[in-house]
Amino acid sequence: MDERRYEMIFEACSLKKDLEFCAFGDQTIIGERGINLSGGQKQRIQTVRALYHDADIYLLDDPFSAVDVHTRTHLFKECLLGILASKTIIYVTHQLIEFLRSANLILVMRDGRITQAGKYEEIFSLGTDFMELMGAHKKALTKINSIECVAALDN
């Protein structure tokens, strides 16, 4: 085991503080199907496992969907742009705004088919499917934010 790499990856995946609450640290037994973990903890543990494996190609299916915005940003910078910077990463995400500018290649899909491909600036200038996705994404975020504001006011 490469202790230095292991520690670096745990730090990059924001799991150090989680381990402090576990009586046996990283030797703590996890319940069946991760029953005693939150969704975000499960995702971050899977990310640690993937990163420690040190593969050449990574296929990530929305690995930050269950974490808050601050953690998601940290994970993206430290893991994808940091530790995996020299690797090939195929990353599926619904967090359009946060991550697209950093991608080397973006594939826009509609009805299971690739409709556009290119760097952010290229497909942004083409509009059509990409602009519809961005518009729908912004509209959904606005709706969620307004619902959260109303809920906060009700409390």
Condensed to tens digits (0 to 9), the pLDDT of residues 32-74 reads 766 678 888 888 888 999 999 999 999 998 888 888 888 888 9
Nearest to 39 by CA among 50, 47, 29: 47
Q: What are phi and psi of 74, to 5 degrees?
A: -60, -50
Whether residue 127 is predicted with pLDDT greater than 50 in this model: the reply is: yes
Whether residue 149 is predicted with pLDDT greater than 60 in this model: the reply is: no
pTM: 0.71
Q: Please give the share of the chain, as a percent, with pLDDT higher than 70.
A: 75
Per-residue pLDDT band for 150 (boundaries 50, 70, 90) equals very low
pLDDT of amino acid 98 = 67
Name the residue ranges covered by the structural domains of the chain: 3-93
Whether residue 152 is predicted with pLDDT greater than 50 in this model: the reply is: no
Nearest to 20 by CA among 11, 33, 31: 11
Q: What is the mean pLDDT of residues 108-113?
A: 83
Phi-psi map region of 30: left, alpha, beta (phi>0 left; psi -120 to 50 alpha): beta
pLDDT of amino acid 12 = 94
Label residue 69 exposed, middle or buried (CB < 10 Å: 0-12, 13-18, 19+). exposed
Determine the topology of domain 3-93 in CATH: Rossmann fold (3.40.50)
pLDDT of amino acid 79 = 93
Whether residue 85 is predicted with pLDDT greater than 90 in this model: the reply is: yes
| Residues recorded for the chain | 155
Range with the largest mean pLDDT of 10-24, 47-61, 133-147: 47-61
